[in-house]
A and B are shown apart, each in its own frame.
Chain A
Amino acid sequence: MQHLPPEALALCALGETDPGETAHLESCAECRAEVTALQRVVTAGRAPDVAEELPRPPSSVWDGIHARLGLSDSVRSDPFDAPERPAAAVAAAPAGAPAPAPAPQESPAPSAASLEAARQRRQRRRLPQILGAAAAAVVLAAAGTWGITRVLSDRSEVIAAVDLSPLASYSETGRAEVDERADGERELVVTATGSGAQGYREVWLIAPDVERMVSLGTMEGTEARFAIPANLNLDEYPIVDISDEPFDGNPLHSGDSILRGVLDL
């Protein structure tokens, strides 16, 4: 069966679907899943803006933050009570950013001229990117057998690794490696063959009691890299786990694990 082209899937997510596409979506779970995933963006984009109506935390919360972090007196008062203080933050805008953008709220549709200017800016910007890619290709070619991963991650060293085994009802295989870079930062590199996930895949580090766990993020494709928080003790969370998470808005582990392994530390 021929899948819908990517651009048609995006339009379907916006509600622009013709009868032929509707019929295809009814019979094709893969295209339907893609549309559903993109619809999260559309739903959010069309949702009413009610954030302003949420109640603020009591002032004791800011007092606690201020004390625990040892912040300076200039930010002593609860930010909800403090007068607006745009100056300092705005002054820190990145140098070289184009001068005053229109009001941050609702910008009117840009004129054809400004759009043309924007197009030209983008085209000019593309050139260094292409050069960058070419330069990277040269570096990679020169790297030879030394390994692409190591070049890209700046001389990282593998400090722990484990093959991931599939749990019942799954047949995937995978591997997890912990890279430590020269600057001490650690990365978890996870590879996994295809995805039997019904929803999306999420990667976790779990304690041996299978009770405490840290979510590192979602995984797409066959390889994903995650920064491991500096203060996280891997001895405490040695189990690497990839779960199948339904799109239910619930951030807890679904209980449905695809692959798992215990890091040899």
Chain B
Amino acid sequence: MPTGASDRDAAMDAAFAAGDETALAEAYRLFSPLIRALALRRLQDPGAADDAVQEVFIRAWKYRDSYAPDRSTLAAWLVGIGRNVAAGMATARVRSSETLMEPPEPGRHSGPATGPDPDGVADRVVLDAELARLGEPQGSILRLAFHEDLTHQQISETLKLPLGTVKSHIRRSLVQLRQRLEVSDAASAT
């Protein structure tokens, strides 16, 4: 994984892993609204969502040793912990021993929709952070495909790269980014 994109986020991720408290504060400023939105959607209770945010950042800081900046962005890792914490709180609330055996009750997860879908926003935030780490020319190829809606032929012409190179970068980058998004589904550090 090229580390060429030494942007502000990469610096924050490394500083967080190294135990810099200002990086924790910065991560909180950047990601706590998203983590709160994810928890709120799941728990349907603003007070519980605030508790979840607090728990996520406390847990993340305590277990920062298990965060590896070269394996995922801090965004993906925190969102993964956020989802685990919210799911754990939701499970604790549903005191039903049939949780595993019976299909989930409809309506338990889908509260009234308010504003943008937090899971969709989380994917976008995580993806942006990962895109910044992708290196070049992969980052440019995907930005052109996502944001400019260019076809792979147009990308090949724009970046003056062979068609086959563009196609294989698209393939490999999508697979890699998908794995990175999956980090945010379930962090191992909870």
- Chain A residues engaging chain B, CB cutoff 8 angstroms: 6-7, 9-11, 13-14, 16, 37-38, 40-51, 53-58, 60-62, 64-65, 68-69, 71-72, 74-75, 79-80, 82, 85-86, 88-94, 97-98, 101, 104, 106-107, 109-110, 112, 114-115, 118-119, 121-122, 125, 202, 206, 209-218, 226-227, 229-230, 241, 249-253, 255, 257
Contacts and interface: CB of A to CB of B under 8 A. Distances in A.
Contacts, number: 270
B28 A62 contact: yes
A67 B25 CA distance: 13
A65 B36 CA distance: 14
Interface residues of B, number: 104
B23 A92 contact: yes
Contacts of A62: 28
Interface of B: 2-12, 14-15, 18, 20-26, 28-29, 32-34, 36-37, 42, 49-50, 53-54, 57-58, 61-63, 66, 83-84, 86-88, 90-92, 95-97, 99-104, 109, 115-116, 118-121, 123-128, 131-132, 135-137, 139-140, 142-147, 149, 151-152, 158-161, 167-168, 170-171, 174-175, 177-178, 181-182, 185-186, 188-190
A41 B177 contact: yes
Contacts of A253: 99-100
Contacts of B190: 214, 229
Given A88-B22, A212-B91, A255 B127 contact: no
Given A210-B97, A211-B95, A64 B109 contact: no
A12 B135 CA distance: 23
A209 B100 contact: no
Contact of A211 (B18, B91, B142, B189): B91
Contacts of B152: 11, 14, 16
Q: Which 5 A-B pairs have the closest CB atoms?
A: A45-B146, A44-B123, A54-B33, A97-B6, A92-B15
Given A51-B33, A210-B100, A109 B170 contact: no
Which of A107, A109, A241 has its CB near the most chain B CB atoms (within 10 A)? A109
Given A58-B50, A109-B159, A229-B189, A255 B99 contact: yes
Nearest to A115: B137
A114 B12 CA distance: 26
A6 B118 CA distance: 31
Given A14-B170, A56-B33, A75-B25, A49 B124 contact: yes
